[in-house]
């Protein structure tokens, strides 16, 4: 497996849950962390914790539906920590309740965050990865299994044209859900709110990064959803 030490990762939604576990796990691997949020409040605890332990960390806020705001945030992280090697998208805006009761404004805002936000962030981090001809882009879903109907509200997947462009520059793309922790002997129906399951999903994602990171392979398994 490849060492992740010295790499720089951009993580969204790192203030709690799976994103927090991934951030803590990557910090222990020696990865420099850029944590992005629409609000800094939820990131204060993890920022203080990681800085107290001596880890390299940069906190930024951005309106991820505004490409200019995203570019400024990514530029700030790269100025402070170096070029981004790993982008982990864990910012999944969801709506609870029956579809026919969805508020149109809330639905539109969530679509913008999940789709446009992910695309803008991907567009902002790709140039640095392309220059080095390597990089990893990962999305994480809190759902046990991604259904076709979820595609409307979730940031899955990258269009095939973008995947092909990424592959030409040895940039790997993967998406993970709770289904991927089956290898850790967890039930696929277990609630992902459980802290133990969150930890194991984060552990699984980091293991995959160490296993595939840096490989110069043009293999579809590295650019597909739930590849293992």
Lowest model confidence (mean pLDDT) among 16-25, 197-206, 214-223: 214-223
Residue (of 137, 12, 18) closest to 63 by Cα position: 12
Lowest model confidence (mean pLDDT) among 21-30, 198-207, 214-223: 214-223
pLDDT reported for residue 151: 40
pLDDT reported for residue 105: 66
Q: Which of 55, 156, 173, 204 is catalytic?
A: 156
pLDDT reported for residue 106: 63
Integer Cα distance of 120 and 125 in angstroms:
9
Residue 91: CB atoms within 10 Å = 22
Return mean pLDDT, the chain.
Answer: 77
Q: What is the pTM of this model?
A: 0.79
Residue (of 153, 152, 201) closest to 174 by Cα position: 201
User: Which whole-number Å values give the CA distances from 125 to 19, 86, 120, 225, in the listed order?
Assistant: 18, 9, 9, 20
- Model confidence at 68, pLDDT cuts 50, 70, 90, reads very high
pLDDT reported for residue 6: 94
pLDDT digits (tens, 9 = 90+) for 10-24: 999 888 888 889 999
pLDDT reported for residue 143: 54
Task: Kindly list the domain boundaries of the chain, sorted by start residue.
Answer: 8-223
- Helix (H/G/I), strand (E/B), else coil: 40: coil
SS3 content of the chain, % helix, strand, coil (to 5): 50, 15, 35
* Chain centroid to CA 129: 15
Mean pLDDT of 200-221: 70
Integer Cα distance of 117 and 70 in angstroms:
8
Is 156 known to be catalytic? yes
Q: Which fold has domain 8-223?
A: Rossmann fold (3.40.50)
In the structure encoding, which two tokens stand for residue 161, read together? Answer: 């044209």
In the structure encoding, which two tokens stand for residue 9, read together? Answer: 């990762």
pLDDT digits (tens, 9 = 90+) for 109-166: 666 776 788 899 999 999 999 999 999 999 886 554 444 334 433 444 566 778 888 8
């Amino acid at each position: 497996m490849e060492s992740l030490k010295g790499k720089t990762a951009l993580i969204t939604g790192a203030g709690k849950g799976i994103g927090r576990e991934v951030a803590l796990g990557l910090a222990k691997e020696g990865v420099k962390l850029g944590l992005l949020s629409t609000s800094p409040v939820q990131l204060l605890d993890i920022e203080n914790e990681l800085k107290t332990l001596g880890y390299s960390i940069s906190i930024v806020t951005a309106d991820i539906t505004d490409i200019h705001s995203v570019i400024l945030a990514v530029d700030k992280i790269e100025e402070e920590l170096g070029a981004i090697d790993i982008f982990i998208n864990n910012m999944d805006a969801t709506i609870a309740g029956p579809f026919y009761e969805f508020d149109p404004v809330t639905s539109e805002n969530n679509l913008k965050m999940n789709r446009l936000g992910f695309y803008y962030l991907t567009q902002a981090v790709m140039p640095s990865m392309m220059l080095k001809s390597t990089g990893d882009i990962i999305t994480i879903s809190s759902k046990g299994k991604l259904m076709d109907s979820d595609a409307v509200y979730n940031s899955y997947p990258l269009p095939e044209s973008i995947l092909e462009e990424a592959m030409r520059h040895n940039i790997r793309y993967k998406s993970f859900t709770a289904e991927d922790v089956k290898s850790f002997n967890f039930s696929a129906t277990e609630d992902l709110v459980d802290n133990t399951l969150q930890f194991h999903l984060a552990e699984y994602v980091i293991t995959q990064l160490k296993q595939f990171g840096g490989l110069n392979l043009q293999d579809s398994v590295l650019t597909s959803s739930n590849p293992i």
